[in-house]
A and B are shown apart, each in its own frame.
Chain A
Amino acid sequence: MSCPGLPRAEEAQSEYPAPSAAALLVAACLRGEDDALARFVNEYQPVVHRAVVRRLASLSGVPPVRAEAEDLTSEVLERLFADGCRRMKALRNPDAICGWLVALARNHVTDHLRKLTSRDRAETALGAEPAAAPATPVDCAIAKERRGLVLETLGRLGAQDRMIIKLYFVHGMQYAQIAGLMGMNINTVATRLRRAKAKLQPLLATLATEGGNRP
């Protein structure tokens, strides 16, 4: 299957082409083979279409009109195929392209709505997207010093461990999801999280104590 973004449960029922088939298809597009683009459309148009429709719906708040969604889907694919599929050359792992396709589709819809609506309206709509991390106001009760200490401890962890900690605590992701997102084995995620938590534990405990005393 071609979407690493999927949790294991969905992998079993996925009907996307086997990794090698997807890679062969991208290679065929890059070589400019006759039916390659048609096959690519057949394979991936639904993913792009669904991504376009979901983005349109989330930004405009109403179910999108079929014709508009179809036009935008075609535009995304046309841009992909432009200049002998130039943009596909950047793919190092053509086995998995759903993440990239969804990102391209979302961008294209965003640009389209920006052009359509006045600047203000577009910004309002974009501001409402769920993409932004929840911005909890900093609680003044947390001492600046302790905050610095936590950040310093986090800073001493490797980048991947910091990512894991944040995905787990701030974004509430589960081990399996983090494993899928970062391309790691689930046991690796568990081990790294355990080690990182052990380093943070004394600080977390003080946070908890302070939190408990807050009104």
Chain B
Amino acid sequence: MTHQGESPEGRLCPPEHVLEACAMGHLTAEREAELKAHAGDCTACAAALAAFAEARNGLQQILATSNELGPECPTEDLLGQYMDRSLTDEAHEQLEAHLADCQGCLGRLKALWDEVVKVCDPEVEVTVVERRTDGELVPFAVPVRKAEPGAEQGSGAREISGQEERKGRLSSG
């Protein structure tokens, strides 16, 4: 599938991983439009894009068949604790073994992850409404966190190093 050429207009073809990212929908809209325009002129890139998309669809169809939840499926709190790296090593590995084969639970984990990102993102507006005495509904924005002067800044770097440590323990074990 690898090809390195130029389109008739003389533009260099993008590398394969960029074509794949495009087929997966991971590029910005602007970059995607640019690449698709190129694929319009370049049959090799168009074929590569179509192949990635078909492979993805094929895998999706094969994997998306078993998403019924069973009695052995974890509760949502357990999925939350997994995301927080709060399970014991044994429970963590057990859950990953389950997630790897249970499409339904993997979907639940992904949905919970998306939700946590939105809940913690100050850019995402969350509003409630209250009925005033005159009957009109007034919206209120729910803040991500109460303003508190002098609040400590988190240390993302420390947390990531901790996760890597944990990862090391898991893969070496």
Residues of A within 8 A of B (CB): 1-8, 10-19, 21, 42-43, 45-47, 49-51, 53-54, 63-67, 69, 90-104, 106-107, 129-139, 142, 147, 150-151, 158-160, 162-163, 165-174, 177, 180-181, 183-185, 188, 200, 204-205, 207-212
Contacts and interface: CB of A to CB of B under 8 A. Distances in A.
Contacts of B167: 183-185, 188
B139 A1 contact: no
9 nearest CB pairs, A to B: A1-B154, A133-B107, A103-B80, A207-B58, A211-B54, A99-B83, A5-B116, A131-B111, A159-B100
B50 to A, nearest CB: 7
B79 interface: yes
Binding site secondary structure of chain B: helix
B119 interface: yes
Contacts of A15: 144-145, 151, 153-154
B14 interface: no
Interface residues of B, number: 86
Given A14-B156, A17-B154, A6 B84 contact: no
Interface of B: 1, 24-26, 50-52, 54-65, 67, 75-77, 79-88, 93, 96-97, 99-101, 103-104, 106-113, 115-122, 126-131, 137, 139-140, 142-146, 148, 151-156, 158-160, 162-164, 166-167
A46 B52 CA distance: 42
Given A46-B143, A96-B159, A208-B54, 10 more contacts: A1-B155, A51-B119, A99-B84, A102-B115, A106-B115, A150-B62, A181-B83, A200-B59, A205-B1, A211-B55
Contacts of A103: 76-77, 79-81, 112
A1 B116 contact: no
Contact of A69 (B82, B93, B128, B156): B128
A109 to B, nearest CB: 11
A117 to B, nearest CB: 19
A170 B60 contact: yes
Contacts of B62: 138, 142, 147, 150-151
B96 A5 contact: no
Provide the main secondary structure of the chain A interface: helix
A100 to B, nearest CB: 4
Nearest to A56: B128
Instruction: Point out which of B62, B99, B109 has the most chain A C-beta atoms below 10 A from its C-beta.
Output: B62
Given A5-B83, A169-B63, A210 B128 contact: no
Given A93-B84, A93-B86, A53 B156 contact: no
Contacts of A184: 163-164, 167
